[in-house]
Amino acid sequence: MALTGGEIRLDRGHEGRVAYLTLDHGKYNIITWETRQVMADRFAEIDADDEIKVVVVQGAGEHFSSGGDIAGFMEVDPIDFTDLGQNVTAPARSPKPVITAVDGYCFGVGLELALSTDIRVATRRAEFALPEMRLGMIPGSGGTQRLARLIGLARAKYHVMTASRINAQQAGDWGLVANVVEDRAALDAEVERIVGVLLGFSPLAARTAKEVLDKGVDAPLYSGIELERKAYSMLRSSNDFAEGVAAFTEKRAPKFQGR
């Protein structure tokens, strides 16, 4: 199948500083094998564009994504599965903050995509699941590992091994999502609020914070603290830090340049 790119729309807002990636593939935004590669291509484009500071991933219509194209997986050569997850989890490797807006279903590879982003916000009707066990399979794009690190091993084992759904309240209580809001309108408003906050910060500091958090969480505490200390020292010599201090002293809004 040729890649059209239409299944993942890329729009820009806030004077080109925000990239909006919208899953748009049928009622349930099915993620096909081809869609995975489109995701990687979209993020390659975003990561190479210095004007883009923040990324938002969302689903068109009533659902974020019900998961992958199950029948289509049988048409893929098994050798191609050795790199499974490298494309759809491109948000985790992006140096830019990535927000996911979840409404309705967020299942299977859709959840794995969301888990690879930095900040997740959901509506009260959102539902999360890794249902691969129903097919005689397990999640293969980071789902088992990222979910366990977010909600704890015991809960992750239960929900992966029984293919049970996680409702929005549980997702919020367990830290799977940062915020739970009433409906889609409130979801869009909350995402824009977070976007506005992130745009006001130094892109260099945002990139550094993401890297330190991601790399430090799996390291021993002393190693994580050492990583943090060295990153702090690096930012101390940045122009953005000097600008931040000057703006604070002069009681004005900072003008960060990302350097």
At 1 the pLDDT is: 32
- Mean pLDDT within 84-94: 89
Q: How far apart are CA 232 and CA 167, in angstroms?
A: 38
Spatial contact of 191 and 121, defined as CB atoms under 8 Å apart: yes
Residue 6 pLDDT more than 70?
A: no
Segment 138-188, tens digit of pLDDT: 999 999 999 999 999 999 999 999 999 999 999 999 999 999 999 999 999
Q: In whole numbers, what is the pLDDT of the chain averaged over residues?
A: 93
* Distances, alpha carbon 27 to alpha carbons 3, 14, 30, 60, 202, in Å: 19, 28, 8, 8, 38
CA angle in degrees (0–180, nearest 5) for 158-162-167: 70
pTM: 0.93
- Mean pLDDT within 119-126: 98
Spatial contact of 68 and 7, defined as CB atoms under 8 Å apart: no
Residue 4 pLDDT more than 60?
A: no
At 3 the pLDDT is: 39
At 78 the pLDDT is: 67
* Distances, alpha carbon 216 to alpha carbons 6, 153, 236, in Å: 36, 19, 20
Cβ contacts of residue 106 below 8 Å, gap of 6+?
A: 63, 64, 65, 114, 122, 126, 127, 128, 129
Q: Is 184 exposed, middle or buried (0-12, 13-18, 19+ CB in 10 A)?
A: middle
- Mean pLDDT within 122-135: 97
At 81 the pLDDT is: 66
Cβ contacts of residue 36 below 8 Å, gap of 6+?
A: 87, 88, 109
Q: How far apart are CA 135 and CA 233, in angstroms?
A: 49
At 77 the pLDDT is: 67
Cβ contacts of residue 84 below 8 Å, gap of 6+?
A: 140, 141
Kindly list the catalytic residues.
112, 132
N-term to C-term CA, the chain: 42
pLDDT level of residue 83 (50, 70, 90 thresholds): low
Spatial contact of 140 and 81, defined as CB atoms under 8 Å apart: yes
Spatial contact of 77 and 33, defined as CB atoms under 8 Å apart: no
